[in-house]
Amino acid sequence: MGILNVTPDSFSDGGQHEGLAAALAHAERMVEESARIIDVGGESTRPGAAPVGEEEELARVLPVVRELAARGMCVSIDTRHAGVARACLEAGAAIVNDVSGFRDPAMVRAVLEAGGDCGLVAMRMPGEPATMQDAPSYDDVVADVRDWLADRAAELEAAGIARERICLDPGPGFGKTPQQTLEMVRNFQEFARLGYPVMAALSRKSYLGFAYGIERPTDRDEVSATEALMACELGASVVRTHNVAATVAALKDMRPYAFLGLGCNVPLVAEPGEEREGKIAMLNQAITELCALPDSQIVDISSFYESEPAYYLDQDVFVNAVVLLRTGIPPKELLGYLHAIENSSGRVRGIANGPRTCDLDILDYQLYVADSDELTLPHPRLLERDFVVKPLLELRPRHVLANDAPVTDAAVRVGKSVRL
């Protein structure tokens, strides 16, 4: 999503794209650089910004939106005013990006009256731009923002907005100190757990000046792109940026994701009555070894689940989990690493589906489908196993496998599991 501010006072590019010709030229340039969406804004929402009336905002954005839509571009209107949203949707905008999170019921009505097929970006911003930086306070900024976004999305759905039309923006820098913003963007996986597309709107933000010591916003494009890459590896799926070319270049380094299944029902060391704790310890040791994989990073780990044995029933219950990994290791090579970790944990391959100290499976590998004696992906029995489906959906609700099969519990038939 390329940012097109047609304002005189935006924090980093105010006045640069005023006037229809300048705005259109910049939009065309961003599309050439691979922007898929052009986000048009006519009111600065920088900290301390004064509000702009709807009439003035419309005069700034409406001609731009109308012309961009006529040229076949996907246009987003960045506004918190229902009249502006309604007029821009009628002019061809496809998305409404509301920094106030659709708190105004009139904004929701404007979207519904537009015919019900436009996208929404709902952002978490406490207060108003003029006051949002007045001592922002959170008990836990990640949990508080996540829970607010979850509630807001549920309210939008209850109002009649289809789930697939909603994108969530945690609002970096909006009503948050640089330290709070840094904590939030380092934990983007928590927002991805909500099961909606998540926007990373990090470009040129003040927390980057705090973190990297770069004072001028326009000098932050390189680190903005780096931060966008990190956010996408953690689960963001939309990037809002001033510098499209730099961001696209950075995202070329994004590593594929892999979901790994972990299981244990034979702890090597456990006192009588502490077998469950011993199994958890075995899985934690395996997770520790996964942390040492080259060119890889654990993004998220599910809860532990206790599950009934599957297929071979005459054995003890299992403890299972799912790990979400970003990795540059190819699938077959990754399988070799997993077998080495199993072996180091005392894995003995005897009875098929029988007892084991450590079982590591590749469940799904991004954009990779294979069917061979060595490796079949996605895992052929993933969707029938409760002890895989539940923890995977905990990490990524509504996940779709590399073979385009959605992960649901509809086909589950073995390994009933309970979250510990």
Catalytic residues: 205, 240
Tokens of 4: 């097109």
Residues constituting the chain = 420
Count Cβ atoms within 10 A of the Cβ of residue 96 and give its class: 0-12 exposed, 13-18 middle, 19 or more buried.
buried
Which helix or strand (DSSP H or E) is residue 339 part of?
A: helix 331-344
Query: What does the alpha-carbon distance between residue 163 and residue 165 come to, in Å, rounded to a whole number?
Result: 5
Nearest to 170 by CA among 205, 136, 201: 201
Query: What does the alpha-carbon distance between residue 171 and residue 145 come to, in Å, rounded to a whole number?
Result: 9
Query: What does the alpha-carbon distance between residue 399 and residue 324 come to, in Å, rounded to a whole number?
Result: 12
Please count the other Cβ atoms lying within 10 Å of the Cβ belonging to residue 131: 12
Query: What does the alpha-carbon distance between residue 359 and residue 356 come to, in Å, rounded to a whole number?
Result: 7
Evaluate whether 374 touches 332 at the Cβ level (below 8 Å): yes
Evaluate whether 218 touches 189 at the Cβ level (below 8 Å): no
CA dihedral 150, 156, 157, 160 (to 10 degrees): 180
Query: What does the alpha-carbon distance between residue 198 and residue 9 come to, in Å, rounded to a whole number?
Result: 27
Query: What does the alpha-carbon distance between residue 190 and residue 63 come to, in Å, rounded to a whole number?
Result: 39
CA dihedral 13, 14, 20, 22 (to 10 degrees): -40
Q: How far is CA 364 from CA 30, 53, 140, 356, in A?
A: 34, 50, 32, 22
- Report the SS3 class of residue 238: strand
- Report the SS3 class of residue 324: strand
